[in-house]
A and B are shown apart, each in its own frame.
Chain A
Amino acid sequence: MNERTERSEGMPGQRGVSGKTVVRPYGDTTGDGMVQVSFTLPVPHDKRAEGAAVQLANKMGLDPAMLVHARQMGDGFTFFVVYGRVNHLVDLAKVQVVERDYPLLSAKEVNAVVKRRLRRKLSVVGACIGTDAHTVGIDAILNVKGIAGEKGLEYYRELKVTNLGAQVSVPELVEAARRERADAVLVSQVVTQRDAHLHNTREMSAAFREAMPAGRRPLLIVGGPRFDESMTGELGVDRIFGRGTTPGEVASYLVHALITSRKASVA
């Protein structure tokens, strides 16, 4: 067992490094295609239920599928854990993601660029819009306290941060952006029931389009754990940040989008 683990341990990175673009899931041996899934079926636990779980796993592409755990919950539900081999291949060359297309700067560097190139404070207005009361996201990015040891945007000397907090209406946000002469508007959306995050974002971007001409509109940025980062066009915003975004990434993006890339294109 140990031997096998050791042998396989050296392997997984090599494919990527050697430039191969097709990979399979990795259990404990390169190319074994092993995955683990868990799910619930609305049936009581018996032989038939276990058969049903294996059938579902087969349809999901697990073949052979090993049912390793089944447990009834309440009257009519059973929870299953299944391990099995999938035959699907992943082609890394065809994966589409939004890669960071701007350099990551330190707080000091951000301040220096804003001071030298913008020659005034960069104004940021942030809020949770709609009925969303979860300020965790916007606070993590804006509050001095920040997140994961990284200070939030309030900490940046050359940024002027206005955090409107929770449950801000779209008109209030537009008004605040106007009043604060916002260079960028940051909106956080955590609640996703009935796609509220998407509706709210569309409403927000439409309101800014209506209220301000293209050249005068602040940069519209939306963030939240459940956004698809490639939906900017569809939602009418300039940038979407997904889970795990840090204040430093946002600050670096602001500098890139508002200062360095703009000046560069003029020059």
Chain B
Amino acid sequence: MTGKLGLDPALVGRARELARRAGQPVVDLARSHTTVSVERAVLRLAGVSGADPDGIPWVNRLVDAVVADVGLGHGVAVPVFDALAREGVSDVTLLAQKAAAGSVRFAVPSGRAATAARRAARRAVAAGVRRIDRRRAERDRLVRRFGDPAQRPWIYLIVATGDIYEDIPQAQAAARAGADVIAVIRSTGQSLLDYVPEGATREGFAGTYATQENFRLMRAALDSSSRELGRYVRLTNYASGLCMPEMATLAGLERLDMMLNDSMYGILFRDINPIRTFVDQRFSRQVHARAGIVINTGEDNYLTTADAVDEAHTVTVSQLLNEFFAHEAGLADWQLGLGHAFEINPDVPESLRLELAHALLARELFPDAPLKWMPPTKHMTGDVFRGNLLDGFFNLVGAMTGQGILLVGMMTEAVVTPWLSDRDIALQNVRYVLGAAGGLHEDFVPASGGFIQQRARRVLGEAVDLLERIGDQSLLTAIAEGTFGIMKRPADRGKGLDGVARHEGDYYNPATEILEQPA
């Protein structure tokens, strides 16, 4: 019996072991497959940049050309660098342009040519990884110079106008008003684009396109805010959807600080093929690990479609799986912004005590992870007065349970995209609660054997039961049968399946090789 909830350490250990057992077959699958997006990320690290006149990135054109000639299963690195040597071209982007014009043929070399191509590919990709390393060192330096936020949880605020040049002043205003982390919500639908748009963008739907240039512009703006405010303001985007590995890579190259990166979100909520997702996820997490990026997982989403009391244990199960996959990919505990949310129907009796039990359970299970605490959305009705009160309770639970990252709830959730005044009122709410009760987690110890302890133990028990059921039938089957968030997602369906290939015997990926080396 340990901690504030008196959880049984043996049961906690059993939960982790079951998560490992459920997750390991998926890791094996991820290690034996590649995807077009993983290969495009490799090419981005090797220095391919820019897009054709139609806006299709050269990495897409190059991967498509390689796949047309030799398929995906060998990886694109060797065929590309073999062609580079044969054609006598020095620049990979130039090769992509030639390939797109149809003037280059790709082959899978053998013998000395293969060795040379591997060596050249590895050298080029290593240079890309070094750029990520330099950006990480730069972040460490800036954090030392400007400092971290004075308080925990860090205050996380969203901007989303669709226009990066409109987002920038809004993000800077939000930082000035107290935000420690700025998330730029992506344009609706970007997750299903099988390419990363290029350049600065000024039009989006309910969000702003994630592009390398937009990343760069926003990071530079927040660097100047950090200087002005004397604290390092972090930037968040999304490594999710069909281009997850490339998003992670671009985030590393442009020194983003956090990325939304859930193990199952794309499968469940975007109907992306499960194998595609797990392969892409493993690579993207390896990149995040290297780049010193904190991932944010998406357990809050389950509770928006399923009942937050009945399905509370699915959040715990998903957190345990996310933790297993993250550790396997090399992420450290401080990089695990495991998600959970305040989504219990406020009309349920004792809803606040239930919320406290669930939030504290996550805190106790993952003591060294920052944990991302997500505000109510499902029971925001348009009654902004009640919504503001609900957000106040949400903030209070965050303070009482020592959450690491607090996404600021808007009382106009489900009504409008937040107005300036909505954001100001929401931040006042957070500041009041953290100012009045920020240290309450030190005093808050639930009564031994009381309601909160019992509830937390019950949720953990149900999570273990579910993991045991998954253990018997494999995670892919569980997903296919709708265990998480009710959606049924079979492994042979979903978007992006045609971009998945099993490794051939000679598959080579210099990025994975470098990222898997012990540092």
Interface residues of A (CB under 8 A from B): 38-40, 71, 73-74, 77, 79, 131-136, 139, 143-145, 165-167, 191, 193-194, 196, 225, 243
Knowing A131-B188, A133-B270, say if A193 contacts B486 (CB, 8 Å).
no
Q: Which one of B18-26, B115-123, B287-295, B416-424 is at the A interface?
A: B416-424
Chain A neighbourhood of B188, CB < 8 A:
131-134, 191
Knowing A74-B173, A144-B486, say if A243 contacts B305 (CB, 8 Å).
no
Nearest-CB residue, chain A, relative to B169? A74
| Complex: A193 Cα to B424 Cα, angstroms | 22
Knowing A38-B421, A136-B305, say if A143 contacts B486 (CB, 8 Å).
yes
Q: Is B12 an interface residue (CB 8 A)?
A: no
Where chain A touches its partner, the secondary structure class is loop
Q: Which of A131, A139, A196, A225 is within 8 Å of B305, CB to CB?
A: A139
Chain A neighbourhood of B206, CB < 8 A:
191, 193
Nearest-CB residue, chain A, relative to B187? A131
Chain A neighbourhood of B419, CB < 8 A:
40
Nearest-CB residue, chain B, relative to A154? B486
Tell me if A225 and B192 are in contact (CB < 8 A): no
Chain A neighbourhood of B271, CB < 8 A:
165-166
Q: Which of B162, B173, B307, B382 is within 8 Å of A145, CB to CB?
A: B307
Q: Mark B267-293, 1 if CB is under 8 A from A, else 0.
A: 001110000000000000000000000
Chain B neighbourhood of A191, CB < 8 A:
188, 205-206
| Complex: A135 Cα to B420 Cα, angstroms | 27
Knowing A79-B421, A133-B270, say if A145 contacts B205 (CB, 8 Å).
no
Tell me if A73 and B420 are in contact (CB < 8 A): yes
Q: Which of A40, A143, A144 is within 8 Å of B421, CB to CB?
A: A40
Range, interface on chain B: 20 to 34
Q: List 6 A-B contacts (CB under 8 A).
A: A40-B421, A73-B421, A74-B420, A77-B420, A139-B486, A145-B486
Chain B neighbourhood of A71, CB < 8 A:
424
Tell me if B306 and A145 are in contact (CB < 8 A): yes
Tell me if A193 and B270 are in contact (CB < 8 A): no
| Complex: A143 Cα to B189 Cα, angstroms | 22
Chain B neighbourhood of A196, CB < 8 A:
205
Q: How far is the CB of B194 from chain A (nearest CB, A)?
A: 13
Chain A neighbourhood of B421, CB < 8 A:
38-40, 73, 77, 79
Q: Which of A131, A144, A165, A225 is within 8 Å of B189, CB to CB?
A: A131
Chain B neighbourhood of A135, CB < 8 A:
269, 305
Tell me if A145 and B305 are in contact (CB < 8 A): yes
Q: How far is the CB of B432 from chain A (nearest CB, A)?
A: 14
Q: How far is the CB of B68 from chain A (nearest CB, A)?
A: 26
Q: Is B176 an interface residue (CB 8 A)?
A: yes
Q: Which 7 A-B pairs have the closest CB atoms?
A: A131-B189, A73-B424, A79-B421, A40-B421, A131-B188, A74-B173, A191-B206
Q: How far is the CB of A123 from chain B (nearest CB, A)?
A: 19
Chain B neighbourhood of A193, CB < 8 A:
162, 205-206
Chain A neighbourhood of B270, CB < 8 A:
133, 166-167
Q: How far is the CB of A108 from chain B (nearest CB, A)?
A: 23
| Complex: A135 Cα to B265 Cα, angstroms | 13
| Complex: A191 Cα to B205 Cα, angstroms | 8
Q: How far is the CB of A52 from chain B (nearest CB, A)?
A: 16
| Complex: A136 Cα to B269 Cα, angstroms | 10
Q: Which of A38, A40, A165, A166 is within 8 Å of B420, CB to CB?
A: A40
Q: How far is the CB of A162 from chain B (nearest CB, A)?
A: 12
Chain A neighbourhood of B378, CB < 8 A:
136
| Complex: A109 Cα to B12 Cα, angstroms | 47
Q: How far is the CB of A184 from chain B (nearest CB, A)?
A: 22
Nearest-CB residue, chain A, relative to B417? A193
Q: How far is the CB of A75 from chain B (nearest CB, A)?
A: 8
Interface hits, B391-437 → A, CB 8 Å:
414, 419-421, 424-425
Chain B neighbourhood of A167, CB < 8 A:
189, 192, 270
Q: Which of A133, A144, A165, A225 has the most CB of B within 10 A?
A: A133
| Complex: A145 Cα to B345 Cα, angstroms | 14
Chain A neighbourhood of B173, CB < 8 A:
74
Nearest-CB residue, chain B, relative to A164? B271
Q: Is B304 an interface residue (CB 8 A)?
A: yes
Q: How far is the CB of B46 from chain A (nearest CB, A)?
A: 32
Q: Is B191 an interface residue (CB 8 A)?
A: yes
Chain B neighbourhood of A166, CB < 8 A:
269-271
| Complex: A77 Cα to B177 Cα, angstroms | 13
| Complex: A40 Cα to B422 Cα, angstroms | 10
Chain B neighbourhood of A132, CB < 8 A:
188-189
| Complex: A39 Cα to B378 Cα, angstroms | 26
Interface hits, B315-350 → A, CB 8 Å:
none
| Complex: A80 Cα to B275 Cα, angstroms | 52
Chain A neighbourhood of B420, CB < 8 A:
40, 73-74, 77, 79
Tell me if B414 and A225 are in contact (CB < 8 A): yes
| Complex: A243 Cα to B191 Cα, angstroms | 27
